[in-house]
């Protein structure tokens, strides 16, 4: 069992399961002595939408972002690539941290917005349970729990802008928790690369769509093509549909008659 599975097993077994209506007390502000300490030596998994927000915030391409700010953990039993923020080698600080706090605060990743709330999706981990649940991540260092401000989980998510991440998070889950994976099937290397390109290296996917024979092979509405050229979110949604077609054999796309051989 890898580390991720071990951690998730503990969460499933030991953490009280919370719902959106459940309450907790918490407040985070610069005046606390723990300020910034939680952005050190921390595992932040990035979703495709996190990467769009971060690379655009930093004004760099997805390839540059992945190269400079992330690692790809290699764990046995991982069904598909996952991407994490790479902590600084010497200090183990998050590379997006300054003494005044997070330099990308308005575009911080989903996991950073959610803290101190965790969310478990048992089906994408190790069990056959389907229901997602929330739990409180009470890091010993965190003094936010000593503050009296009261929240429900629902209010916290609203306040932290989590809802902007929901639509693409759900769409990503359709890929990352697809029955193909939960039934134990494994992607061949070329398909793992397709997964990585669409989900994480979106600018490379854009080049692939617009500079290869892709648009000659697939029927794609002109309006859709126009949107994908400049809109990362539209391109990502399209990429998810292409992954369903290419990885899982779903009829989400139409090949042009003259190109009935699936794209490799």
Enumerate binding residues for ligand SF4 (CB under 6 A): 28, 32, 34-35, 37-39, 42, 44, 94, 96-97, 102, 104, 108-109, 112, 115, 141-144
Q: How far is the CB of 65 from ligand SF4 (least distance, A)?
A: 12
Q: Output 4 or 102, the one with its CB closest to ligand SF4.
A: 102
Q: Tell me the pairing of strands 101-102 and 23-25.
A: unpaired
Q: How far is the CB of 38 from ligand SF4 (least distance, A)?
A: 3
Q: Output 48 or 109, the one with its CB closest to ligand SF4.
A: 109
Q: Output 134 or 180, the one with its CB closest to ligand SF4.
A: 134
Q: Output 34 or 126, the one with its CB closest to ligand SF4.
A: 34
- Reported in sequence order, the residue ranges of the chain that DSSP labels E, i.e. its strands, are 23-25, 45-46, 70-71, 83-85, 97-98, 101-102, 117-120, 133-136, 150-152
The set of residues, in sequence order, having a beta carbon less than 8 Å from that of 134 and lying 6+ positions away, is: 17, 18, 19, 20, 22, 117, 118, 119, 120, 153
Q: Output 106 or 258, the one with its CB closest to ligand SF4.
A: 106
CA–CA dist 32, 145 (Å, integer): 11
Q: How far is the CB of 134 from ligand SF4 (least distance, A)?
A: 16
- Residue 23, class by beta-carbon neighbours within 10 Å (0-12 exposed, 13-18 middle, 19+ buried)? exposed
Q: How far is the CB of 4 from ligand SF4 (least distance, A)?
A: 18
Q: Output 57 or 237, the one with its CB closest to ligand SF4.
A: 57
Number of H helices, E strands in the chain: 12, 9
Q: Output 136 or 263, the one with its CB closest to ligand SF4.
A: 136
User: Contacts from 259-264 at CB under 8 Å and sequence distance 24+?
Assistant: 259/213, 259/216, 259/217, 259/218, 263/214, 263/217, 263/218, 264/190
Q: How far is the CB of 93 from ligand SF4 (least distance, A)?
A: 8
Q: How far is the CB of 58 from ligand SF4 (least distance, A)?
A: 11
Nearest one of 84, 64, 9, 62 to 198, comparing CA atoms: 62
Q: How far is the CB of 104 from ligand SF4 (least distance, A)?
A: 6
């Amino acid at each position: 069992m890898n580390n991720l599975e071990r951690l998730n097993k503990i969460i499933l077994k030991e953490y009280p399961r919370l719902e959106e209506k459940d309450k907790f007390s918490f407040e985070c502000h610069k005046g606390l002595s723990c300020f910034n300490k939680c952005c050190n030596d921390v595992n932040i998994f990035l979703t495709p939408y996190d990467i769009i927000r971060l690379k655009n915030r930093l004004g760099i391409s997805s390839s540059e972002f992945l190269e400079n700010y992330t690692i790809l953990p290699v764990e046995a039993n991982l069904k598909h690539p996952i991407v994490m923020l790479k902590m600084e080698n010497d200090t183990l600080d998050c590379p997006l941290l300054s003494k005044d706090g997070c330099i990308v605060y308005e575009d911080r990743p989903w996991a950073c917005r959610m803290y101190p709330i965790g969310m478990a999706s048992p089906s994408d981990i190790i069990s056959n349970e389907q229901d997602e649940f929330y739990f409180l991540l009470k890091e010993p260092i965190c003094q936010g729990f000593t503050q009296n401000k009261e929240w429900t989980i629902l209010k916290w998510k609203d306040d932290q802008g989590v809802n902007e991440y929901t639509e693409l998070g759900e769409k990503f889950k359709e890929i990352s928790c697809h029955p193909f994976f939960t039934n134990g099937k494994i992607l061949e290397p070329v398909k793992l690369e397709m997964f990585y390109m669409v989900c994480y290296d979106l600018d490379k996917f854009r080049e692939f769509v617009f500079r290869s024979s892709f648009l000659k092979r697939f029927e794609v509405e002109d309006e859709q093509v126009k949107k994908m050229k400049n809109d990362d979110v539209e391109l990502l949604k399209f990429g998810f549909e292409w992954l369903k077609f290419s990885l899982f054999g779903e009829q989400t796309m139409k090949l042009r008659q003259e190109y009935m051989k699936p794209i490799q």
